[in-house]
Amino acid sequence: MKITAIKTYRLKEFSNVLWVHVETDAGIVGLGETFYGAGAVEAHIHETLSERLLGKDPLHIEALHKEMVSLPMAQSSTGAEYRAASAIDIALWDIFGKVCNQPVHQMLGGCVGKKFAYITLVLVTVTFELTILSRFQIGI
């Protein structure tokens, strides 16, 4: 399986939120997101990270993460670059969970004891191909 495209989406109503689709030749799409400085993050994804990731195996998450954050000093030292890598990491884990038919929290070790979680989600109705809430199955 190879990464064939990395697409980003922003909505005028939520200008600080950026959603990232990582698409594969197997037809599996991973969804990632980040918040704050969406324009700078989007530029870094398209101008720097895409060319490094296209054609790579999306299941090699650790190697791809190192590729994204091990850039020359001028390209890897600010928050925008780390938010870009984080959004793509989330999408890669989403792909991994879909390939294994497991929720991501299970892939990361599952539940241990009874824990309480708080999560804030942006609920948006959109008319393009983005499905925001389909990726998370939270086990508590």
Domain map of the chain by residue range? 3-135
CATH topology of domain 3-135: Enolase-like; domain 1 (3.30.390)
- The reported pLDDT for the residue numbered 132 is 42
| Side-chain-side CA neighbours of residue 47 (13 Å) | 9
Calculate the average pLDDT of the chain.
Answer: 81
- The reported pLDDT for the residue numbered 137 is 43
Structure tokens at 111: 């539940």
- The reported pLDDT for the residue numbered 127 is 43
Contact 49, 6 (CB under 8 A): yes
Helix, strand, coil percent values for the chain (each to nearest 5)? 40, 20, 40
- The reported pLDDT for the residue numbered 80 is 87
Angstrom distance (rounded) from CA 11 to CA 37: 13
- The reported pLDDT for the residue numbered 131 is 43
**Residue 6 in 3-state DSSP?**
strand
Bridge partners of 9, per DSSP, are: 19
- The reported pLDDT for the residue numbered 56 is 97
- The reported pLDDT for the residue numbered 140 is 38
Torsion of the alpha carbons at 106, 109, 114 and 117, rounded to the nearest 10: -70
- The reported pLDDT for the residue numbered 65 is 92
pTM across the whole model: 0.78
